[in-house]
Amino acid sequence: MRTTIMNRFLLATLLLSFAVTTNSQTSKNKKPNIILIYTDDLGFGDVSSYGTSAIPTPNIDRLAKNGVRFTNAHATSATCTPSRFSLLTGKYAWRKEGTGIAPGDATLLIPVTTTTLPGMLQKAGYNTAVIGKWHLGLGDAKGINWNEKIKPGPAEIGFNYSFLIPATGDRVPCVFVENQQVVNLDKNDPITVSYTGPVDPNAPTGKKNPELLKMHPSHGHDMTIVNGISRIGYMKGGNAALWKDEDFANILVQKATAYITQQKANPFFLYFSTHDIHVPRIAHERFAGKSGFGPRGDVLLQLDWTVGQIEEVLKKNGLLENTLIIFTSDNGQVIDDGYKDDAVEKLGNHKPNGIYRGGKYSAFEAGTRVPFIVSWKGKVKAGKVNDALFSQVDLYASLAALAGVKVEAGQAPDSKNYLQVLLNQSNKPREFLIEQSINSTLSLLVGDWKYIEPSKGPKINKDTNTELGNDPKPQLYNLATDPGETKNLAEVYPERVAEMKLKLDNIRQK
Ligand code: NG6
Ligand code: CA
């Protein structure tokens, strides 16, 4: 009798301790990690699972195969800075002056008083990081001193760790900034940056010294030369800190790998912002010449490799079941964006726009309709397609819901919780969606209808050969019957035009 009781006690203790260990090992109650892979200038049709790409992207396609592929998801803007501003604040960038494409010496565009997307997640116990392209400005009105700790920056708006390409690959300063300090800076060779004129009148530039270039500009980009490529803006000094474009993808993957591995025990949010496939398109030698479509195709292969590496490190650390992966782009495609890199000549049968009109900078669909893939092993059903109208501005409120954070009044004012859509448990479309073009022409999408407000802006960006969608008259398209925006129906449906104009005016004034 005594032994039976003893045995039962032992068995119960054993079972209990087993349950406790299993529970902690599977981290059942742990909040899911979130990785946002934010690519640059990737068009709707650049990913092969989207149907019109001639360049294989097997790693990105595998994410889609194991998850859900959205066909009507949008960046908020057709350029980088405003899309990123809206993504991190849950507020349309056009509500704030000075949030267009930021110069390389712009001050931090997000006020430090904002509870940003990462700041909100920190409150829920997340460790947060940004690795890659920033392009949201750094420092304050005193101007940036690149030779000291640069403040304010990502740390002041909710990121625990940052490793940045401070603006873009084609803008100076061409240095990495880790936790707000230039990496490998030699104190005896300080950095000076200017966007108004040469810092050193004797230094070679792309304009004066084309013989020094390994890649030549097609428009703009003819100032300071770094790594045989002329850039936008002037810089002097910081020689030991200068980057090599060929190493971008490797370095960003290394940094992400280290971060994920270090943080695997905590819930983490990684905003992984690739340089690819922005200009200058300089692939590592593993990819250079490999696509058959010139450098643009090569950096697309490199981007695909990058995505594969991120998935691999999650797999290695046993994190796939507890990590939500979102893959998308900051704006649509562009072919010639300022360098003679054969992108036009070697485009062949590759269709980076899919069936859509326009591209980066444009009010037409290809400006903001981008690839958008969500994958979460065991949580999001594999191999699905979701056609719901979805905006990146809603990632804020949707991820708040996922993390169990209440969004306070006034915080993320334009963001709505569409978590169920994000996880493909629903295909409820957003009630309306707004697109912003380079000259801030706004378009309103409701159901199948798209209204583009009248604009005096140019019809074509001659440099990039992009139709910008501007017209002094209102435009109305039915995207269900005419996804290529070829028939302006504004004169056929004047009431609908008036109704959509009024709605857009109301949203603008909110
Ligand atoms: C444009 C640049 C373009 C690119 C873009 C920003 C010129 C002539 N063109 O002004 O090359 O850098 O800005 O791209 O300078 S984005 O993806 O960051 O919005
Ligand atoms: Ca971009």
Does the beta carbon of 80 lie inside 6 Å of ligand 1? yes
Does the beta carbon of 79 lie inside 6 Å of ligand 1? yes
Q: In the predicted model, what is the mean pLDDT of residues 190-199? A: 97
Using the predicted structure, report yes or no on whether residue 265 has a pLDDT greater than 60: yes
Using the predicted structure, report yes or no on whether residue 238 has a pLDDT greater than 50: yes
**Closest CA relative to residue 169, chosen from 304, 275, 286, 252:** 275
Question: Please, which pLDDT band fits residue 7 given cuts at 50, 70 and 90?
Answer: low
For residue 252, give the DSSP letter. Answer: H
Max Cα-Cα span within the chain: 98
Does the beta carbon of 170 lie inside 6 Å of ligand 1? yes
Q: Which two tokens stand for residue 204?
A: 């070679």
Task: Give, as residue ranges, everything with CB less than 5 Å from ion ligand 2.
Answer: 40-41, 80, 330-331
Does the beta carbon of 84 lie inside 6 Å of ligand 1? no
Write the pLDDT tens digit of every residue in 388-399: 999 999 999 999
Q: In the predicted model, what is the mean pLDDT of residues 157-185? A: 98
Question: Please, which pLDDT band fits residue 25 given cuts at 50, 70 and 90?
Answer: very low
Write the pLDDT tens digit of every residue in 126-157: 999 999 999 999 999 999 999 999 999 999 99
Q: In the predicted model, what is the mean pLDDT of residues 307-311? A: 98
| CA-to-CA separations, 380 to 62, 126, 370, in angstroms, rounded | 14, 21, 20
Q: Which two tokens stand for residue 307?
A: 């995505």
**Are the C-beta atoms of residues 76 and 393 closer than 8 Å to each other?**
yes
Q: Which of 134, 337, 463, 468 to mutate to test the pocket of ligand 1 (most atoms within 8 A of CB)?
A: 337
Going by CA atoms, what residue is nearest to atom 10 of ligand 1?
101
Using the predicted structure, report yes or no on whether residue 181 has a pLDDT greater than 90: yes
Q: State how far Cα 377 lies from the chain centre.
A: 22
User: What pLDDT, on the 0 to 100 scale, is given for residue 30?
Assistant: 85
Q: What is the CATH T-level fold of the domain 30-191+237-423, as seen in this structure?
A: Alkaline Phosphatase, subunit A (3.40.720)
Going by CA atoms, what residue is nearest to atom 17 of ligand 1?
80
Using the predicted structure, report yes or no on whether residue 365 has a pLDDT greater than 80: yes
Write the pLDDT tens digit of every residue in 26-71: 445 589 999 999 999 999 999 999 999 999 999 999 999 999 999 9
Domains 30-191+237-423 and 435-509 alike in fold:
no
**Ligand 2 centroid distance, CA of 398 (Å):** 23
Does the beta carbon of 279 lie inside 6 Å of ligand 1? yes
**Are the C-beta atoms of residues 118 and 269 closer than 8 Å to each other?**
yes
Cis peptide before 277 (omega within 30 of 0): yes
Q: Which of 170, 275, 329 to mutate to test the pocket of ligand 1 (most atoms within 8 A of CB)?
A: 170
Dist. CA 171–CA 441, nearest whole Å: 25
List, in order, residues 6 or more apart from 270 with CB less than 8 Å away. Answer: 33, 34, 35, 36, 128, 129, 130, 131, 256, 259, 260
**Ligand 1 centroid distance, CA of 337 (Å):** 7
Does the beta carbon of 278 lie inside 6 Å of ligand 1? yes
Amino acid of residue 189: D
User: What pLDDT, on the 0 to 100 scale, is given for residue 61?
Assistant: 98
Q: Which atom of ligand 1 is nearest to the CA of 81?
A: 19
CA-based torsion, 422, 381, 20, 27: positive or negative: negative
Write the pLDDT tens digit of every residue in 246-258: 999 999 999 999 9
Torsion from C-alpha of 453, 495, 74, 488, nearest 10 degrees: -70
Q: Which atom of ligand 1 is nearest to the CA of 221?
A: 15
Does the beta carbon of 93 lie inside 6 Å of ligand 1? no
**Ligand 1 centroid distance, CA of 39 (Å):** 15
User: What pLDDT, on the 0 to 100 scale, is given for residue 119?
Assistant: 98
CATH class of 435-509: alpha beta
β-strands 372-375, 323-329 pairing: antiparallel
Q: Which atom of ligand 1 is nearest to the CA of 167?
A: 18
Q: In the predicted model, what is the mean pLDDT of residues 480-491? A: 98
Using the predicted structure, report yes or no on whether residue 3 has a pLDDT greater than 50: no
> Residue 378, Cβ neighbours under 10 Å: how many?
9
Q: In the predicted model, what is the mean pLDDT of residues 88-113? A: 97
Q: Which ligand sits closest to the CA of 135?
A: 1
For residue 210, give the DSSP letter. Answer: G
Q: Which ligand sits closest to the CA of 101?
A: 1
**Average pLDDT over the chain, rounded to an integer:** 95
Question: Please, which pLDDT band fits residue 309 given cuts at 50, 70 and 90?
Answer: very high
Q: In the predicted model, what is the mean pLDDT of residues 290-319? A: 98
Amino acid of residue 352: P
Q: Which of 79, 174, 328 to mutate to test the pocket of ligand 1 (most atoms within 8 A of CB)?
A: 79
Going by CA atoms, what residue is nearest to atom 15 of ligand 1?
220
> Residue 289, Cβ neighbours under 10 Å: how many?
11
> Residue 503, Cβ neighbours under 10 Å: how many?
15
Does the beta carbon of 220 lie inside 6 Å of ligand 1? yes
Q: Where are the domains of the chain?
A: 30-191+237-423, 195-235, 435-509
User: What pLDDT, on the 0 to 100 scale, is given for residue 510?
Assistant: 83
**Are the C-beta atoms of residues 236 and 246 closer than 8 Å to each other?**
no
Q: Which ligand sits closest to the CA of 223?
A: 1
Q: Which residues pair with 224 in a beta bridge?
A: 205
User: What pLDDT, on the 0 to 100 scale, is given for residue 28?
Assistant: 52
Dist. CA 85–CA 99, nearest whole Å: 8
CA angle 220, 225, 231 (to 5 degrees): 30
**Ligand 2 centroid distance, CA of 333 (Å):** 8
Transcribe 56-83 into DSSP letters: --HHHHHHHHTSEEESSEE-SBSSHHHH
**Ligand 1 centroid distance, CA of 362 (Å):** 13
**Token pair 């009105």 is at which residue?**
141
